[in-house]
Every structure is written in structure tokens, then in C-alpha cells.
Structure 1
Amino acid sequence: MTEAPPAGSPGTAESGGGSPRRTAVGILLGVALASLVADLVTKQLALSSLTGRGPVSLLGGTVYLTLTRNSGAAWSIGSDHTWVFPLITIGVIAWIGWMALRLRSLPWAVSLGLVLGGALGNLTDRIFRAPGHFVGHVVDMISLFDPYGQVWPVFNLADSSLVCGVLLAVFLELTGRQRDGSRATSGRAAPEQAPAEQGERA
């Protein structure tokens, strides 16, 4: 009679039932969809309520709502090469799809879902908004500490989702959490055992 492998061992699901990969991919897609919908809704609200208005101050001037259309990246970097950004975004989406093939970690699913949702949000603007397909300008509306983005670039929820997803990915890498649900080993155990092994050989 064979014993069941202990919980948390490689190749076993962390939760009680279901496929770990299926669960992780489901969370990735759910987070991406929620992020995308929130971004599209807030952009539409900004267009309908901020068009033709000056900046709206919130939280005593900590946050301003000011409608801008950005043809480039942060601080309008690359504004003369708008067509490049959709290609980069498509590459990111393809990379996330490849990562999902071995995805088992729920934290990594959240991280990749945030990045995917943010990427899709801004890609939608690039494809469908004026002045034309794949050269559309991204709708931004949130400015920190200054009404016109002089302290920090004006951004949107898609940008926030991207930044949060990347920061979470960096944290997971630094703490040794792998996308397949395993933990990276420090590699220090082997050197500590070396003296004992040498003693046995003597």
C-alpha cells in the first residue's frame, strides 16, 4: 500500500481539489478581466465628465483628475513612434500566454493577471482610439501632487495595474516563489554537509 505524498510536495496541488494549473489560469484570466473592465469604465467616465473641464482636486491636492491623451509612454516618451507600443504590448501578452503553460502558483497568477489586464487596457486605446488604428492615444486622468503631471506622469488604472503586477512579480522572485508553485532552494545545505561527508571517507 503506497502512502499519499505529503501536502505541498512537488507535483501536488496546494488546495484541496481541482487542477492547480486550471485554478491558477482561471485566477489569471479573472484578474485580467476585472482590471480591463475597471480601466475601460474609468476611461469612459473621464471622457464624459472631464472633457472641457479643468483639473479636479481631490484629497487636498494630493490627487488631481485631469484628462489627457498620451501618444507615448510615461512623460510622453516615444510620442513620435506610437506604433511601437502596440507591438511591445502584443509581445508581453504572448509572453504571459507562454508563462501560463506551467503556471501553478496563485500569487503569480494574480501578478500576471494584473500585467495582462493593464496591457490589454492600454492596447485597446492604441487600436481603437483616435487618431487611428495602432496609433491611438491612451486616455490618462490621474495626476499626483500637481494638476498637470509635473511631479509624476498622468496615468490611468491600466498603468496602475501594470505597476502593481510588476512589483508583485519582483517580490515573488526575491522570495524564491516559482511559477510552478515550488520554492527556490538557497543551495546552502550542500556546503554545510561537505565536512561530514569528508569525515566519513577518511
Structure 2
Amino acid sequence: MLGLVLGTAVVAWTLDFLSKEWVIASMAEGEQRQVLGEVLQWHFVRNPGAAFSLAAGSTWIFTILAAAVVIFIATQLRRIRSMRWAAAFGGVLGGTLGNLTDRLMREPGFFVGHVIDFIQVWGFPAIFNIADIFIVGSMIAVVLLVLANIGLDGIRHTDEPKPAAAEADPDATQPLDPEDRPGERH
């Protein structure tokens, strides 16, 4: 599964990086271009904050949080036995590394760089990038896997007793006969 996690992460990071480089090379900051009329536009902005440009003065905090996400995923890699979890973690990892690359390498400087955002969708209140798409899509997958009780091993876990326990002690799941119940005399 390590290959799927890392492969997905590399695809996400590469698509994000190349798209941002294209935006920087072909658009002026603040420029807007219609792609599908007003439904989809490219709108080049540099985002110093988090989603919706929140906490713009705390860029360093998001750098630390992104690094923590990368470290957390790295610590979980050996436990992943599910293709769905591997793809989800790979998407989160690649997207997080995409935005972390901006925070470490872009203006105004190391650790406080601004994230390049450029995708604007009509009716959506934020401008975002490819990394954000991978992060959000993958986190939705993580939530769905958790809600379905699917573990990192790919097995759906339930609160129901396992059949192996009943086979080991067949009487464990059977009610006691009335004469064997404690406190009852006949």
C-alpha cells in the first residue's frame, strides 16, 4: 500500500505544483480569466492564510500544522492495508505537501510563503487550488471510511460478536436453561 500512498501523493503534488507554476508564468496577480463563463474562472491570488484567507497573519502556524499532518501520515504508513485508505492518505499527503511547498518556498519567504490560489467557482466563497481539491476530496473519503467503520486494515469493524468466539464456546451465545439459572429453583 505504500506505493499507492506515495504514488497518489506524487500525482497530487505534481499537478498542484505544475498548475501553480503555469499560473505564475501566464497571469498577473489579481488577474481573472473566464474558463466556463462565470461558472469557472482562473483568478490568481496569493493567500497568506488558511481557507477563505482566515488568519492571514499566522502563516507560520499553518506551516507547522501542515508539517504535523505529513508526520502523522508518515507514522501511519505501515498500518495501512486498504487501497481506499492508501488513496485517501495519499491525497491528503500530496495536497498538504503542495501547500506546504508554497509556505516554505514562495514569497514573502521561508516558512511564511503565500499559497498560490487560482480556481474560482461561481457561488463558492473561496478561491482555491489543486492541492485543496485533493485535501478536501481525500478528507471526505476519510470521513466516509470512518463512518463505515472501515479500519486501516480494510476490514469493516462492528460491535457484533465475532463468529469465531461462538465457535470456540458454543454455549456462550445460548441462553441458560431455566434449571441452570442462578437464583431460580424449581
- The 5-angstrom pairing of residues 26-175 of structure 1 reads 26-51=3-28, 54-145=31-122, 151-175=124-148
TM-score (norm 2): 0.86
- 1:43-65 CA-partner distances (Å, limit 9, x unpaired): 01111122167311122311110
Q: Percent identity?
A: 35
Separation in 2 of the partners of 1:166 and 1:53?
Answer: 29
Query: Which shows bigger deviation, 88-97 or 180-189?
Result: 180-189
Q: CA deviation at 1:174?
A: 1.1
Separation in 2 of the partners of 1:170 and 1:101?
Answer: 20
Query: Which shows bigger deviation, 46-55 or 86-95?
Result: 46-55
Separation in 1 of the partners of 2:150 and 2:173?
Answer: 30
Give the paired residue count: 173
Separation in 2 of the partners of 1:113 and 1:53?
Answer: 31
Query: Which shows bigger deviation, 179-188 or 65-74?
Result: 179-188
Q: CA deviation at 1:90?
A: 0.7
Question: For residue 196 of structure 1, what is the aligned residue in structure 2?
Answer: 174
* SS of 1:185 mapped into structure 2: coil
Q: Which amino acid counterpart does residue 105 of structure 2 have in structure 1?
A: F
- 1:7-54 CA-partner distances (Å, limit 9, x unpaired): xxxxxxxxxxxxxxxxx1110000000000000000011111221673
Separation in 1 of the partners of 2:161 and 2:119?
Answer: 47
The change in CA–CA distance for 1:185 and 1:63 in structure 2 (over 3 A counts) is same
- 1:174-202 CA-partner distances (Å, limit 9, x unpaired): 11211022220232789xx9883234845
Q: Which amino acid counterpart does residue 110 of structure 2 have in structure 1?
A: H
RMSD: 2.1
Cα pair 2:82 2:154 within 8 Å, conserved: yes
Separation in 1 of the partners of 2:136 and 2:161?
Answer: 33
Separation in 2 of the partners of 1:155 and 1:199?
Answer: 66
Structure ID, larger Rg? 2
* SS of 1:91 mapped into structure 2: helix
- 1:65-93 CA-partner distances (Å, limit 9, x unpaired): 01000000112111011111110011001
* SS of 2:58 mapped into structure 1: coil
Question: For residue 166 of structure 2, what is the aligned residue in structure 1?
Answer: none
Where has structure 1 moved over 2 Å in runs of 4 or more?
186-190, 193-202
Q: Which amino acid counterpart does residue 132 of structure 1 have in structure 2?
A: G
The change in CA–CA distance for 1:52 and 1:25 in structure 2 (over 3 A counts) is closer
TM-score (norm 1): 0.79
